[in-house]
Amino acid sequence: MDTRQIAIIAPRGTIRRFATAGAINTLLFWILWEILRLSPALELFSETGVWAIAWIISCTIAHFTHRYFTFDGRKDVKTTMIGAFTVYAIGGALSTISYEFLVSNLEFQIRLIFVINMLIWGLFTWASMRWFVFEYDE
């Protein structure tokens, strides 16, 4: 599929394009989270701690994915990096709190909690990145 077809199906800045890039970012995050959960890090940092570590690492990858695929590189990378990490810091802190809340208060399977939490914070991240970080406007 060429870039024109992708632009028709999922134009830059749309939730569809964000979700496509986000699916890849989420897969990387999930793999890292699972690896940390299987490692001694789980004992050392707790469920919430390994969530936060995986979140921080995946945010760096996600910034560049969204910069080059979801939105565009019109704004200076330093500016978007600072903005993205602000969004990711807020989302990371709040998603960690909501993850802890869900883990502590629901009897759901841990991976269902993962999906619920990622969907909530994915929407927050898309809106924040589109309107505040990249200030994307077709």
Q: Which residue has the tokens 């969530």?
A: 51
The domain limits of the chain are 3-133
Q: How far is CA 91 from CA 23, 62, 97, 99, 137, in A?
A: 17, 13, 10, 11, 23
**Whether the predicted model's global pTM rises above the 0.95 cut:** no
Distance CA 124, CA 47 (A): 22
| pLDDT at position 37 | 92
How does pLDDT run along the chain (138 residues), one tens digit per residue? 677 777 778 788 888 888 888 888 889 988 999 999 999 988 898 888 898 888 888 888 888 888 888 887 788 888 988 999 899 899 888 988 998 999 999 999 999 998 899 889 888 988 998 889 888 776
Distance CA 76, CA 13 (A): 17
Distance CA 76, CA 60 (A): 16
Q: How far is CA 51 from CA 62, 77, 78, 81, in A?
A: 16, 27, 26, 21
Q: How far is CA 136 from CA 11, 60, 80, 126, 130, in A?
A: 12, 20, 11, 11, 5
Distance CA 106, CA 7 (A): 40
Q: Residue 84: which of 30, 26, 29, 135 has the closest Cα?
A: 135
| pLDDT at position 39 | 93
| pLDDT at position 114 | 86
